[in-house]
Amino acid sequence: MMVTSTLYMVLQVVIGVVLAQADAASLSKSWENVAYHRTVDVSRTYTQERIDLHIKNIDNKAIEEYYFVLPEGIFENIALFSAQLKRADAFLESAIIPQQTFVANGEHVKVAVVKMPTSVEPGSSTDIAITLVYGSHRQPYSGSVEMGERQLLHLSTNTYPLSAYNTQQYTMSLEGSPSIEVVSNSSDDNFSCRKEGSRLDCESHKAIGPYQKTAPLKIVFERNLPSSRVSFLAREVWVSHWASTMQFEESYDLVNDAAPLKGGFSRAEYMKGQHAMKQHGHLTALEMVLPSDSEEHYFTDLVGAVSTFRVLQDHIFLKPRFPIFGGWKYNFTIGWTNGLSQFLHIEDVDTESFVLSVPILNGPADTYYSKMNLSVYLPEGSEVLDVWCPLPVVSTEVTASKSYFDLNNGHTKVTFELNNMVDTVSTSKVFVRYKFSTFSFYRKPISIAASIFISLMAFFFLKQITFTIEN
């Protein structure tokens, strides 16, 4: 993931040194990239990159930290960052340093620290793989398209690797589309591209120095699919010990970033051409995977309840009121209920402490999330002991929120604010450790029952009093 809290504890000294440096050229030059292969996958709404590195220690001492440089534009939209030791097929401790911006050839960059499991001796080499997932600003190549027309998107990426070290051999592959073409490139004779089936392979014919600056590589590729982006998701989870349920409610602000229609939408043309049955840039349905054994499903939008949804086992299929073309937005809310036992674990009976695991996402596939608020509402009287999220959070806040029949401060609310997420993190969970006493459990129903009893008794006694004035 982009930020690993344990890594910060392990690499306090390394990060402390790096934070004192603003010039990227001052970073250690202890490594040499013997081979640098970059694979860019454009098959999804967001961009996925894998960098395979064969690196060699050219220093005179053993080292264990490798600095990986990122353009600031990618860092601002990055969803996932991980490093892997290829020979052991094991993940490495890694973290991007978000607090410090470096300068390389007049451009702002970010630096990630990758820690090897053991120190690499001078003259020795190793193989690592870096995985990046980020939201990329793809633009329709022609600006707009006719209904049913082939959709071409434009993407700009760096031609050469942005590395802190010398690179002896550099290759790049662009894949994930039936058609990928270069539309603009620098006049550098030392860089060339060729088609290999549907893949575009590029390579440099010379060694590359650190932070080499060139014109960007601009490509055009075909993608006849919608580009779903959730600009904001409000995900609420209500925990009830009394009902032994966990209720989910999600409110989506969905945008389709595909190419917009040329000349506007025509319902007659849409029906005549049977475009609802064709795969293109418009969005006609959404499929989501829910926790098993969910019930009490509902689907609403700004107009009201939407009946065009179906639940098949653990999948819910949503059909909006209208097709969502490029540039169109759709606001909707879905909800469902699950048994609390699927997510709650009793940590200690004596201390009456619990651990709650909540899935971070249940949204549609191939979707990028710009911003999300995950709010967990614990029963009134709960005391939060600890929270943990495997993803980098902007903020975590514990507050109180009043709801029906709340007596004092209301439900205990834990809110996680997250940015730049993708659908593949749906398997991740946040954990909330809290204490909820037996007294708090019975306090609300007993208080409500007592209030009703007192009200009824007061009404009964008031009826016995005669207020008539007699002579």
Domain range annotation of the chain = 5-222, 228-443
So what's the pLDDT on residue 264?
Answer: 82
Within this chain, domains 5-222 and 228-443 share the same CATH topology: yes
Q: What is the DSSP string of 316-341?
A: EEE--SS-B-BT-EEEEEEEEEEEGG
**CA 386 to centroid of chain Cα atoms:** 23
What architecture (CATH level 2) is domain 5-222? Sandwich (2.60)
Q: How many Å apart are CA 300 and CA 410, to the nearest integer?
A: 27
So what's the pLDDT on residue 235?
Answer: 96
**Which CATH number is 228-443 given?**
2.60.40.1730
What is the model's pTM? 0.86
Full pLDDT tens readout for the chain, 471 residues: 444 444 444 444 444 444 444 666 678 789 999 999 999 999 999 999 999 999 999 999 999 999 999 988 888 899 999 999 988 878 999 988 887 888 887 788 889 999 999 999 999 999 999 999 999 878 888 888 888 888 999 999 988 998 999 999 999 999 999 999 988 766 678 888 998 888 999 999 999 999 887 788 899 999 999 999 999 999 999 999 989 999 999 999 999 999 999 888 888 888 888 887 788 889 999 999 999 999 999 999 999 999 999 999 899 999 999 999 999 999 999 999 999 999 999 998 888 899 999 999 999 999 999 999 999 999 988 999 999 998 889 999 999 888 877 777 888 999 999 999 999 988 899 999 999 987 777 777 777 788 888 888 888 888 888 766 665
Q: How many Å apart are CA 199 and CA 177, to the nearest integer?
A: 8
Q: How many Å apart are CA 161 and CA 109, to the nearest integer?
A: 13
**Which parts of 185-244 are beta strand (E)?**
191-196, 199-204, 217-222, 228-240
Say if residues 432 and 375 touch (Cβ distance below 8 Å).
no
* Residues 6 or more apart whose Cβ sits within 8 Å of residue 315: 287, 288, 289, 290
So what's the pLDDT on residue 185?
Answer: 63
b/e per residue, 73-87, with b = 16+ CB within 10 A?
A: bbbebbbbbbbbbee
